[in-house]
Amino acid sequence: MAAPRGGRRPGAVLACALVWLALIGCAAIFANLLPLPSPTEMDLLGKRALPDAQHWLGNDQLGRDMLSRLIHGARISLSVGLLAPVIGVTVGGALGMLAGYFRGPLETLTVGGVDVLLAFPPLVFALAVTTYLGQSVLNLILVIGILGIPAFTRVARAVTLSLTEREFVVAARALGATHSRILLREILPNVALPLTAFFLLGVAVTIVVEGALSFLGLGVPPPAPSWGSMIGEGRESLDLAPWLAFLPAVVMFMTVLAFNVVGDSLRALTDPRPGAL
Q: Which residues bind other proteins (CB under 8 A)?
A: 8, 112-113, 115-117, 119-125, 127-129, 131-134, 204, 208, 211-212, 215-216, 218, 228, 231-232, 235, 238-239, 242, 245-246, 249, 252-253, 256-257, 260, 264, 275, 277
d(CA 46, CA 65): 9
Q: Smallest gap, in angstroms, from Cβ of residue 53 to other proteins?
A: 29
Q: Smallest gap, in angstroms, from Cβ of residue 6 to other proteins?
A: 11
Amino acid making up residue 240: L
Helix/strand/coil percentages in the chain, nearest 5: 70, 0, 30
Say which residues have a Cβ less than 8 Å from residue 156's Cβ, sequence separation at least 6.
92, 93, 94, 95, 96, 97, 100, 191, 195
d(CA 110, CA 108): 6
Pick between residue 98 and residue 244 the one whose CB is nearest to other proteins. Answer: 244
Pick between residue 152 and residue 215 the one whose CB is nearest to other proteins. Answer: 215
CB 47 within 8 A of CB 225: no
Whether the bond between 4 and the residue before it is cis, its omega within 30 degrees of 0, is no
Q: CA angle, corner 88, sides to 96 and 23, nearest 5? A: 135
Q: Smallest gap, in angstroms, from Cβ of residue 118 to other proteins?
A: 8
Q: CA angle, corner 56, sides to 52 and 59, nearest 5? A: 80
Q: Smallest gap, in angstroms, from Cβ of residue 195 to other proteins?
A: 20
Q: Smallest gap, in angstroms, from Cβ of residue 54 to other proteins?
A: 28
